[in-house]
Amino acid sequence: MSLSLEYSFGPSILRSVYDQVVQPKSFEQLIYELDKGRQYSPDDCDKLTQKIRALPTSLQTTYRFVEFISDIPALWTTYEDEESTDQDPPFDKRSLFGLFARRVVLAFKKMSFLGVSNFVSEFEAWAAGDNSSGYQRIVRDSIKDEHGQMAISRWLEKIFADSLNNDLMAPRTRQFIININIVKIDKVNSVFRELRQHAMLNLVRIYSFNGQIAATRKLLQEAITVARTSGDNIVLQQCMALLRRSEGKTKAHKEPLNELQADIPPLEVLNDVGKLLRETQPISDAFEKTVQALGIYDLSRDFRGGPPVQQDQWAFHGMQSVLWRLAGCERLAIIEENIVLAFSDNDGPDDTRFTMLQNRTAMLARQGKEMEAFGVLLDPDTWRGLDYSLNEVAHWSGEMWITMINFASRRGQQNQVNSFLKSRRPGFFRCFLQKVNQGITSVDHILKALWQSEYQGRFRLYRLAAILLADVGLEFGMTVWSRRLAEEVMPQIISGDDLELRAFACYVLARCIIACSGKNTAGLRDAIPYLHIAEQDYRTLAIYSAVQDVLYVLAIVHNDLGDQHERDSAAALHVAATIEQRRLEAVHVSEYWEEIWDLTIDISTALTSRK
């Protein structure tokens, strides 16, 4: 090739290839680019294209390919014999063609024989039109090494087969097999050494799930050392993240957060959201950390050589559901829950799906929907994939017990709590508050809760704290201020996303309106709609002690207004509510509860005994 041809169209092709800034061209595209040089040197261009078109046919064997690459350095080598001292090499080794050719030769020398054989096959496929040949990504799993596990299985099977019928073998044959087994054991040990950090990481997770914190920290230090020695940065980052998680909160230090860097598991960054919530940080910081975890998840395909685990994406929706519920946006939280429940897999131990089902059960219980709440927990799709090793079975039975004691405590069924529920608690018992009439001492705590919930953006708790503060304000005669405080948060509560909160808020606001009316009896009528809403909600929740309080106030209002018929009707309903409350208190076990608990025991037994 002449120099004019080299400097006319060659650099435009090789520069982009050398810099790796464009997708590799196909064989026909390369010929087309070379044909553009006809306007500079038609003869040289024809010779070059003919030679290149003949390459796939002449380089079909590994030997011919190695011979071809070995002859390339002659293009820039200067001959030392006397006859050729004045002859310049075809290319300067520092030219663009020389740099490219030297790079090709150097890369080729680094290849193994198997790599050269594969390269010849990929070259033939590329010349035939397959432009993707040779550019496939090897998908690597961050934890499992299936090839290593298959190799271990094959070696162990052979060792076991060789050990059979040793008594029937001749001594020389037996010694030969022993030597072979020694070699195989060395190979097995080498594979085990490669997988040691993975095995230690899985063992650390088992310790962590079972609550063995001391053993977790001790083994993590060794796993970190092994991962660093083997150069496995993915396992190293996972071990470092688990170490930060196991450190926890101390008096001097807060829970450490993970630094955003390559190879860090996105779910560990998502776990930092829980740390922020426990550290009472603003909920906006939790949303920001969730977005960062999503970014790590989306970018993990770039530094892990393959797409991220698709099932992990539902954990981000689950966390957003929790955050939206804390922010008081119940409908957005339900949307995120529906996304997780619709697309997540219910065949295995999916902790994200199970957590969403627990949250839905708790919300249905707060709405007074007893059968729906138990139906969610008893659905086979809920408990079929629970894993005993992850303590999910214990959490499932515990959620069943908590739902029962929630309904019983609301209804005032202390007899049922003492005789049926306390003896069946699944390993733990959560105390519940009682009315102690300590409104004065609660002001400081309510004000603190009000300030912290507003600062953290937990507006669901903020609304509850505001209503509690308005209720306490009535005891101190701050009627106008309490009414204004209750009316400010009522538009967010009246939708009924939380029935118990709406019932309590309507009851408090009605009392505030009554207290502000004074001698103006016409203003009492404004409190009646709120009392009716509170009565209906408390009936739905079966909290008949609260129904009695609401009906008592309603009867007084109708009496002051001179509505004797409405007063007598409210009084009759009050008597009926009292009778219903006494009936519930006398119930030993609610209908179907004993059958539900027996079914829970049978399911838990079956789940814990399966392999």
Give DSSP secondary structure letters for 137-192: PPP--SS--HHHHHHHHHHHHHHHHHTTTGGGS-HHHHHHHHHHHHHHHHHHHHHH
Q: Which two tokens stand for residue 336?
A: 């995120």
Q: What does the pLDDT average to over 72-96?
A: 66
Which pLDDT score, from 0 to 100, does residue 263 have? 75
Query: For residue 448, what pLDDT band results from cuts at 50, 70 and 90?
Result: confident
Percent share of the chain, pLDDT over 90:
9
Least confident interval from 426-435, 547-556, 580-589: 426-435
Q: Which two tokens stand for residue 166?
A: 């040793």
Query: For residue 5, what pLDDT band results from cuts at 50, 70 and 90?
Result: very low
The pLDDT tens digits of the residues spanning 389-425 come to 557 788 888 888 888 988 888 888 888 888 788 777 7
Q: Which two tokens stand for residue 122?
A: 């990929």
Q: What does the pLDDT average to over 195-219?
A: 79
Query: For residue 106, what pLDDT band results from cuts at 50, 70 and 90?
Result: confident
Question: Helix (H, G, I), strand (E, B), or coil: what is residue 230?
Answer: helix
* Burial (Cβ within 10 Å: 0-12, 13-18, ≥19) of residue 335: middle
- Determine how many CB atoms are found less than 10 A away from the CB of residue 239: 25
Which pLDDT score, from 0 to 100, does residue 301 have? 63
Which pLDDT score, from 0 to 100, does residue 452 have? 85
DSSP 372-433: HHHHHHHSHHHHTT--GGGTHHHHHHHHHHHHHHHHHHHTT-HHHIIIIIGGG-SS------
**Phi, psi (deg, nearest 5) at residue 524:** -70, -25
Q: What does the pLDDT average to over 575-595?
A: 85
Q: Which two tokens stand for residue 133?
A: 């040949």
**Residue 282 near residue 458, CB atoms below 8 Å:** no
pLDDT over 50 (residue 69): yes
Query: For residue 7, what pLDDT band results from cuts at 50, 70 and 90?
Result: very low
Q: What does the pLDDT average to over 305-334?
A: 85
Least confident interval from 57-61, 169-173, 333-337, 568-572: 169-173
Q: Which two tokens stand for residue 194?
A: 């490669």
Residue 520 CB-half CA count within 13 A: 10
pLDDT over 50 (residue 290): yes
Q: Does residue 321 or residue 99 have the better pLDDT?
A: 321
Which positions ≥6 away from 70 have C-beta within 8 Å?
Answer: none
**Residue 535 near residue 566, CB atoms below 8 Å:** no
* Burial (Cβ within 10 Å: 0-12, 13-18, ≥19) of residue 515: middle
User: Amino acid identity of 413?
Assistant: Q
CA 285 to chain centre: 18
Three state DSSP letters for 13-55: HHHHHHHCCCCCCCHHHHHHHHHHHHHCCHHHHHHHHHHHHHH
Task: List, in sequence order, the alpha helices (H) in 266-329.
Answer: 266-278, 283-304, 313-326
**Residue 397 near residue 426, CB atoms below 8 Å:** yes
Which positions ≥6 away from 100 have C-beta within 8 Å?
Answer: 14, 17, 18
- Distance, CA of 93 to CA of 25 (rounded, Å): 24
**Residue 485 near residue 491, CB atoms below 8 Å:** no
- Determine how many CB atoms are found less than 10 A away from the CB of residue 8: 16
Considering the segment(s) 458-586 as one domain, its CATH architecture is Alpha Horseshoe (1.25)
Which pLDDT score, from 0 to 100, does residue 221 have? 85
pLDDT over 90 (residue 506): yes
Least confident interval from 86-90, 99-103, 295-299, 487-491: 86-90
Least confident interval from 39-48, 175-184, 428-437, 528-537: 428-437
- Distance, CA of 502 to CA of 536 (rounded, Å): 11
pLDDT over 70 (residue 79): no
Which positions ≥6 away from 443 have C-beta within 8 Å?
Answer: 469, 472
**Phi, psi (deg, nearest 5) at residue 394:** -65, -40
Closest CA relative to residue 593, chosen from 406, 394, 431: 406
Domain boundaries, the chain: 3-127, 146-194, 249-424, 458-586
Q: Which two tokens stand for residue 504?
A: 């309590």
Which positions ≥6 away from 167 have C-beta within 8 Å?
Answer: none
pLDDT over 50 (residue 141): no
Which pLDDT score, from 0 to 100, does residue 170 have? 45
Query: For residue 429, what pLDDT band results from cuts at 50, 70 and 90?
Result: very low
Least confident interval from 63-77, 106-120, 124-138, 180-194: 180-194
Which pLDDT score, from 0 to 100, does residue 385 have? 78
Closest CA relative to residue 543, chosen from 431, 406, 376: 406
- Distance, CA of 600 to CA of 398 (rounded, Å): 10
CATH of span 249-424: 1.25.40
CA 337 to chain centre: 13
CATH topology of 249-424 equal to that of 458-586?
A: yes
Q: What does the pLDDT average to over 187-212?
A: 71
The pLDDT tens digits of the residues spanning 247-260 come to 766 666 777 788 88
**Residue found under tokens 């300590």:** 438
Query: For residue 157, what pLDDT band results from cuts at 50, 70 and 90?
Result: low
Percent share of the chain, pLDDT over 70:
77
**Residue 362 near residue 322, CB atoms below 8 Å:** no
